[in-house]
């Protein structure tokens, strides 16, 4: 049977674009790709990239306050949100252009419209065109999930947050995960009065407990009003702003309410079930280790599979898909020991297990230190850095590294290599410190502060 394409990709985010490009340019496959919104997807258009640029913008006020204490004669003026936003939009246009040119240069035929599945080898475009493909790759990503509550239509999500007309004076952030915590810190740094409601007892559930406490303490000290065990029950727009009622019945007014309450796989109306792919409980596309669905011609990668919602993972899955299907070399993606960072202020970089998870797994030693780094101590700031290693008491392998510090994202990338290689505590100890740095503490931690089954501080 002959097909219009060897591969048709639905979704032009990081994973889909990479798979399409590599399949077309490096294996000679005839590839089509449909994207209904902007090329680049969540990471480039409404996620990692604009978020990180906002992090940079938001760090200047504190940096200027610190500069003053270091002796600089600086006056901190206001933040010009429209000027920043225009520049940000220009940057996103530029990056989108690069993505489009890369696809074009690789010989991928791009369809700037929505595509759905018509059958296991056929996609239907929004204009009614039907195209056949030997393989179809679903890379449609995720979409912010909003709880069902009265007035939720007055709230914004991370999709809208980069395009606000004005910087809100009072912002309520709902949620305690990556996006909520990052956005709370960003707006706090930009001068907004930020309140964060989180339904559980402490933000960043699932991460290392000590790191969570450390970050929350820092955020509160720097002005974020974190209210745990609190959720929104209703929103109402009034002349004064958006009125939010919380679970305790308290009513407060905000200029914007941002829900960062998780992201759901973007599969609604895609036609997957009709083509024979049964969706999972959260609407995700179930796949095997080769990214293949139960229908042999249909594959899926990235957030739509609801495995690990991170850009570099989607890219790896896209590459593994091409290797498997177009080079005949079955390649699973290794989802173990993925380093990642939460771009809160201060940043949190982690790889491997939290102390809590490691305790479940077996006897461990915990090495941890919280100290004032030189840069902050000099100007009498209370901000401390946390460096923590979780070590298996039997094998001596480092099971987890947790760093809460400026540039922790950069540090954890490197520590991640050692952990991935199976480094032991003694390997860390054999490495000479780089002095004076914050990260030298990682190789100079001598005494465990805790061992499984009890506190051994001072032992
Ligand atoms: P997360 O899953 O990280 O966090 C969702 C938060 O919303 C949790 O605190 C959750 O609470 C809370 N929540 C869920 N449902 C409700 C509800 N009905 N009412 C109130 N609160 C609710 O999702 P995010 O949206 O923050 O991010 C999505 C994913 O994107 C992340 O998991 C991450 O993989 C990725 N990401 C990565 C970044 C990075 O690498 N730096 C940055 C941003 C996103 P609870 O804990 O109680 O379930």
CATH number where 435 lies: 3.30.390.30
Please indicate, yes or no, if residue 169 is contained in any of the structural domains: yes
Q: Which ligand 1 atom is at minimum distance from the Cα of 176?
A: 9
pLDDT at residue 453 in the model: 60
Choose the catalytic residue: 135, 163, 335, 435.
435
pLDDT at residue 362 in the model: 87
Nearest CA-CA partner of 300 in 320, 326, 327: 320
**302 lies in the same domain as 358:** no
- Residue that is last in its domain, among 326, 361, 380: 326
**115 lies in the same domain as 16:** yes
Distance CA 231, CA 227 (A): 9
pLDDT at residue 437 in the model: 98
Cβ-based neighbours of 223, under 8 Å, separated by 6 or more: 188, 193, 194
Please indicate, yes or no, if residue 439 is contained in any of the structural domains: yes
**120 lies in the same domain as 25:** yes
**278 lies in the same domain as 199:** no
- Residue that is last in its domain, among 226, 261, 296: 261
**27 lies in the same domain as 117:** yes
Query: Ligand 1 centre from 114 Cα, in Å?
Result: 27
**61 lies in the same domain as 123:** yes
Is any atom of ligand 1 closer than 6 Å to the C-beta of 205? yes
Is any atom of ligand 1 closer than 6 Å to the C-beta of 282? no
Please indicate, yes or no, if residue 436 is contained in any of the structural domains: yes
Is any atom of ligand 1 closer than 6 Å to the C-beta of 391? no
Burial class (CB in 10 A: 0-12, 13-18, 19+), 130: exposed
Is any atom of ligand 1 closer than 6 Å to the C-beta of 341? yes
- Residue that is last in its domain, among 284, 303, 326: 326
Query: Ligand 1 centre from 263 Cα, in Å?
Result: 7
Tell me which of 199, 308, 314 to substitute to probe ligand 1's pocket, judged by most ligand atoms within 8 Å of the beta carbon: 199
Query: Ligand 1 centre from 178 Cα, in Å?
Result: 6
Query: Ligand 1 centre from 180 Cα, in Å?
Result: 7
**242 lies in the same domain as 382:** no
Task: Record the tokens describing residue 248, joined without a space.
Answer: 């305790």
Q: Which ligand 1 atom is at minimum distance from the Cα of 341?
A: 41
Please indicate, yes or no, if residue 290 is contained in any of the structural domains: yes
**58 lies in the same domain as 102:** yes
Per the structure, the count of domains in the chain is 3
pLDDT averaged over consecutive 10-residue blocks of the chain (459 residues)? 96 98 98 98 97 98 97 95 98 98 98 98 98 98 98 98 97 98 98 98 98 98 98 98 98 98 98 98 98 98 98 98 98 97 98 96 96 98 97 97 98 98 98 98 97 53
According to DSSP, residue 177 is labeled S
Residue with CA nearest ligand 1 atom 13: 261
**217 lies in the same domain as 320:** no
- What is the CATH number for 299? 3.50.50.60
Evaluate whether 9 touches 34 at the Cβ level (below 8 Å): yes
Domain that holds residue 24: 5-143+264-326
Query: Ligand 1 centre from 259 Cα, in Å?
Result: 10
**29 lies in the same domain as 132:** yes
Whether residue 435 lies in the annotated active site: yes
Evaluate whether 406 touches 374 at the Cβ level (below 8 Å): no
**53 lies in the same domain as 112:** yes
pLDDT at residue 78 in the model: 93
Evaluate whether 272 touches 285 at the Cβ level (below 8 Å): yes
Tell me which of 145, 148, 161, 175 to substitute to probe ligand 1's pocket, judged by most ligand atoms within 8 Å of the beta carbon: 175
């Amino acid at each position: 049977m002959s097909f219009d394409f060897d591969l048709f990709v639905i979704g032009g985010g990081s994973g889909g674009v990479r798979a399409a490009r590599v399949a077309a340019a490096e294996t000679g496959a005839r590839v089509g790709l449909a994207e209904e919104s902007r090329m680049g997807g969540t990471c480039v258009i409404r996620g990692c990239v604009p978020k990180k640029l906002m992090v940079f913008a938001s760090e200047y006020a504190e940096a200027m306050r610190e500069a003053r204490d270091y002796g600089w004669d600086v006056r901190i003026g206001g933040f010009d949100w429209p000027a920043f936003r225009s520049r940000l939009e220009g940057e996103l246009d530029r990056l989108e252009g690069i993505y489009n040119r890369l696809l074009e240069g690789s010989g991928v035929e791009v369809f700037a419209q929505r595509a759905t599945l018509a059958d296991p080898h056929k996609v239907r475009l929004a204009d009614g065109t039907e195209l056949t493909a030997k393989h179809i790759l679903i890379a449609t990503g995720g979409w912010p999930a909003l709880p069902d509550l009265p007035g939720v239509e007055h709230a914004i999500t991370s999709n809208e947050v980069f395009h606000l007309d004005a910087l809100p004076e009072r912002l309520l952030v709902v949620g305690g995960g990556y996006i909520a915590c990052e956005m709370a810190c960003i707006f706090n740094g930009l001068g907004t009065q930020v309140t964060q409601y989180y339904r559980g007892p402490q933000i960043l559930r699932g991460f290392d407990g000590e790191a969570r406490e450390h970050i929350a303490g820092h955020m509160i000290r720097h002005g974020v009003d974190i209210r745990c065990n609190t959720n929104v029950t209703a929103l109402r727009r009034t002349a004064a702003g958006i009125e939010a009622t919380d679970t305790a019945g308290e009513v407060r007014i905000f200029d914007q309410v941002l829900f960062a309450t998780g992201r759901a796989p973007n599969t609604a109306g895609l036609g997957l079930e009709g083509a024979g792919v049964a969706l999972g409980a959260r609407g995700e596309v179930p796949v095997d280790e080769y990214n293949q669905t139960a229908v042999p011609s249909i594959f899926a990668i990235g957030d739509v599979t609801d495995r690990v919602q991170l850009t570099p993972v989607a890219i790896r899955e896209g590459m593994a898909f091409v290797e498997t299907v177009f080079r005949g070399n079955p390649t699973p993606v290794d989802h173990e020991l993925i380093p990642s960072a939460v771009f809160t202020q201060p940043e949190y970089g982690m790889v491997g297990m939290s102390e809590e998870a490691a305790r479940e797994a077996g006897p461990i030693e915990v090495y941890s230190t919280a100290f004032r780094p030189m840069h902050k101590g000099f100007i009498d700031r209370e901000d401390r850095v946390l460096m923590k290693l979780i070590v298996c008491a039997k094998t001596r392998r480092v099971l987890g590294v947790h760093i809460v510090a400026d540039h922790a994202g950069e540090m954890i990338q490197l520590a991640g290599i050692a952990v991935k290689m199976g480094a032991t505590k003694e390997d860390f100890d054999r490495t000479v410190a780089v002095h004076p740095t914050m990260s030298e503490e990682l190789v100079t931690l001598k005494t465990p502060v805790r061992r499984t089954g009890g506190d051994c501080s001072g032992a």
